[in-house]
Structure 1
Amino acid sequence: MPDRRSRRATVLFHEVAERQLAEMDDADLARLDPHLDTIALDPKNAGVQTRPDSPVRDYAKDGVRIAFVPTVLGTIVLVAYVEVR
């Protein structure tokens, strides 16, 4: 049987999140990166849905918070907000 690797979602950043990333130092970006990887691997199950009628999911772990919207097929993730404390 062929070795099937999990497909990762493409992560795109809203302009607000891009501005937040631009203000982060290298240490904060290094802390953020593994969490973005987690979301990209399983966007439909990462984090919690903010409201039952909203597609926005909120991921918070180890001082990192990411608000994002996965596409229906889970192939693209739009990151709307990032925070590293």
Structure 2
Amino acid sequence: MSPEHGARRSQVVMVEPALTQLAKLTASETHRLDRAIVAISVNPELGTEVPGTLLRDYMDEIDAIRVIYYVTALRTITIVAYIEA
């Protein structure tokens, strides 16, 4: 990676019920969620593994955001299954 470029990010896709939750968030909550999504897209290992599944659970205690997601095999797409703010 050249010094002028940052880390490669995966494309983020939200599915139900994440889309339903997203529609209920305030502007402030959406802003906090955006920061969490960017962090996850750059480093999908941030979340902890959910035993027995492909899911990962990311909790940001400072921003009070929780994202449950999984990453495709090639790590090019992050699929968000659930958000909580």
Kindly provide the amino acid, as one letter, of the partner of residue 56 in structure 2: R
- 1:8-34 CA distances to partner (integer Å, 9 max, x unpaired)? 000000121011000111011011111
RMSD: 1.5
Amino acid at match of 1:9: S
Structure 2: segments with no counterpart, 5+ residues: none
The number of aligned residues is 82
Contact 2:10 2:42 in 1 (8 A): yes
Give the structure 2 partner of residue 49 of structure 1. 49
2:11 & 2:50 partners in 1: Cα distance? Answer: 21
TM-score norm. by structure 2 comes to 0.88
Structure 1 outlier segments of 4+, above 4 Å: none
- Corresponding residue for 1:79? 80
Aligned pairs for 1:14-29 within 5 A: 14-29=15-30
Query: Structure 1, unaligned stretches of length 5 or more?
Result: none
1-side partners of 2:21 and 2:10: how far apart?
21
